Amino acid sequence: MSAGNTMEPTSTKPYMIRALYEWCVDNGFTPHLMVAVDSGTRVPMSYVKNGEIVLNINYSATKDLMMGNDAITFSARFNGVSSDIYVPISAVRGIFARESGQGMFFDPEPQSAAQFEPTPGPSGNSPAPPPKGRPSLKVVK
């Protein structure tokens, strides 16, 4: 039985993440995820900077890596301490090769932006602008 036209199609985002992960591995690159940390994200908070964390998701850096349509989960060591990582697909801002910066970056999704409580900006009454990422990264089209 097919889904037909009654349901909205699934997002392409998890498929693009998996494809770029495979491209990185096939080319000998180290795949990294850029993640916007919100209340639904489980990562070591001491490594979060400006509401984001960059995670090495190479096979050698992770254990039990699962990239589903709703979330990416794995175990990894941070400074020798094992941590269970849970990243909702909506929190993924990009996937890229560490060596070249090539990859794909995604626009923020409204539901994850609403979950994260922004810190007040310099004026004290408005949120700080979102970080722009690393200037050396390139978007692959």
Number of domains within the chain: 1
| CATH number of the domain residue 66 falls in | 2.30.30.220
Q: With respect to residue 126, please indicate whether it lies within any of the assigned structural domains.
A: no
Return d(Cα 97, Cα 67) in angstroms, integer. Answer: 17
Residue with more model confidence, 4 or 120: 4
Query: Which tokens sit at 112?
Result: 């994850």
Give CA separation, 131 vs 32, 34, 35, 49, 51, in Å: 17, 11, 12, 10, 8
Beta-bridged to residue 88, according to DSSP, are 71
Structural domain that includes position 90: 31-117+137-141
User: 87: how many CB neighbours lie within 10 A of its CB?
Assistant: 24
pTM over the 0.85 mark: no
**pLDDT at 131 exceeding the cut of 70:** no
Q: Where are the alpha helices (DSSP H) in 67-122?
A: 110-115
pLDDT in tens, 25-81: 999 999 999 999 999 999 999 999 999 999 999 999 999 999 999 999 999 999 999
